[in-house]
Structure 1
Amino acid sequence: MISGGEQMFAFCTGHVVLLDRSNRIGARTLRRLSFEDFTLILALCLITAVGFPSPGRSQTNYSEMEVKQAYQACLDGSHRDPEAKFEAAIAWRDEGGGPPARHCVALALFDLGQFKEAATRLEALAAEMPIASAREQSAILGQAGSIWLHTGNLTRAHTILSQSLELDSNDPEIWIDRGDALARGGEYWDAVDDFSAALDLDENRLDALVFRAAAYRLLGVNDLAHDDIIRALELDKDNPDALMELGAVHAGLGNFDAAREAWLRVLSVAPGSRPAAAARQALQRMDVKVE
């Protein structure tokens, strides 16, 4: 479920470096629910009293829109003014918007940087949707867990993501998020299990392959780490995160020329990116001058 700061392990000459990766999920730090999938929105709309707008009314606020239109506008994440989005969401909620409006308020809080409050409200929302399915509750909890992960509260993230998976274990995104939490806490074998579960659901998840490769490498299982990163690069030969991890695998094996080549490739394909900054740092540690 790769904006915001995402974390991926990159081992370089004896050090573990955390790479911030760009937007894996719409917001990797917040799993945006796809409006294309109407299951959640219909469940939320069934338990709200929001009506349709009167003919001719201006639709400048969520509370003045048809509920599906308002919810879509909130979920698309494109609002340029987080304060205005928050105010519109609050007004919608106060006018009887129900769960969709409460969800929108939580998303607006996330956009405002109020991460803990956003996660807490999402947890409460998931618990207070009496006719929602397990899948729908799981999706909301998955967002909450992703936010806790973003805040660095690994214990809470793991707890909430585990609850999400108990409700619905068929979303690879949630397995990846929980694996990420485990890996950041040093529980690499458990992280491998979660990344593997994600790959069982979708064998072409490049991010899961790169995460699992990093976990294998940190466990010293370099052959499996290498296999995973090669699979990832077969999916996207210029993916900067996969190239960064390829360099880390080579460096861990003492193949510094190959590591240098991979990291220089990162600078070539993604100049100015966060992986490029990490690659530059890794190269500097190898005493390579990078212009």
Structure 2
Amino acid sequence: MKRQAFLVAFAFLISTQHVGAETINHAENYQTCMGLVREKPEKAFDMALNWKGYGGGEAAEHCIATALIAMKRYENGADRLERLADSSRRSKEFKAQLLAQSAQGWYLANQVDRARALLTTAIELDGTSAELYVDRAQMRSAQNSLHDALSDLNTALELDDMNVDALIFRGSIYRLTERFEEARSDIHRALALAPGNTEALLERGMLYRIEGKDAEARTDWMAVIEIDPSGDAAETARLNLERMDVNSGS
């Protein structure tokens, strides 16, 4: 299960500033810049660089770093986010979120050790955030440390027992470790909270397949493809359907 939260806009304390005859609304600039990141990251990058020269401060720097990651310049973006967290005068909880975003960039750059270390630092700053534990579980799972990943997910769910990502992720680990009853329980809870969640439907289909309930598995995987045909879950669902059809001789 992949989590990519690097496009999230942060609640910077920014307002309007007068520069000579020009009035700059920094809050509006930030929203515009972050809105460009997903569709036109190069334009967001150029805008943020220019804006930073007019007093954009941390908000402009955040948009620059986020745009770099969206442009797949993962190391540059992650490094800037890490340095922004180090230099920021904001709360430790805020810094923890910046570090978590930096960790996602390092993860995408295949520097999982660094990503995991940053998330550990983030958790030390804010041990009450369930999302930070889910993110570190991703890093630990990527390193095949499933026991440690499970520990993080257990903590996340103790902090927030309605965290759908944590339920699905823990369910997938239970499936991989053949704890099928516990896997079914977590996926059932996730789907009760988010009935159309494609990752949960994908996982339930896998559990049905393990039980030999091919018709039910097919229904779930077809639903995944219908809900989000271009998503990662849909790609996996298609592969699973192909394998099932080959194995059944159809």
Q: TM-score, normalised by structure 1?
A: 0.75
In the aligned structure 2, how far is the partner of 1:51 from the partner of 1:272? Answer: 42
After superposing the two structures, state which structure 1 stretch, 106-115 or 272-281, moved more. 272-281
Aligned to 1:286, the other structure's residue is in SS state: helix
Q: 1:30 is aligned with what amino acid?
A: F
**RCO greater where, 1 or 2, for CA within 8 Å and sep 6 or more?**
1
Extract structure 1 runs of 4+ deviating beyond 6 A: none
More helix by share: 2
Indicate conservation of the 8 Å contact 1:210/1:241, yes or no: yes
Q: Counterpart in 2 of 1:243? A: 201
Change (3 A) 1:272 1:99: closer
Aligned-pair identity in percent equals 32
Indicate conservation of the 8 Å contact 1:31/1:146, yes or no: no
Q: Where does the alignment leave 5 or more consecutive residues of structure 2 unmatched?
A: none
Q: 1:253 deviation in Å?
A: 4.3
1:123 maps to which of 73, 82, 89: 82
Q: Deviations over 1:243-278 (max 9, x none)?
A: 110122233445445434432443444445432221
In the aligned structure 2, how far is the partner of 1:253 from the partner of 1:188? Answer: 23
Change (3 A) 1:33 1:174: farther
Q: Where does the alignment leave 5 or more consecutive residues of structure 1 unmatched?
A: 1-7, 9-19, 36-40, 58-63
Q: Counterpart in 1 of 2:167? A: 209
Q: Counterpart in 1 of 2:47? A: 88
Alignment of 1:1-291 (within 5 A): 8=1, 28-30=4-6, 32-35=8-11, 41-42=12-13, 51-54=17-20, 57=22, 65-77=24-36, 80-129=39-88, 131-287=89-245
Q: 1:124 deviation in Å?
A: 0.8
Number of aligned residues = 249
What value does the CA root-mean-square deviation take over the aligned residues? 2.8
Q: TM-score, normalised by structure 2?
A: 0.86
Change (3 A) 1:128 1:267: closer
After superposing the two structures, state which structure 1 stretch, 225-234 or 190-199, moved more. 190-199
In the aligned structure 2, how far is the partner of 1:213 from the partner of 1:222? Answer: 8
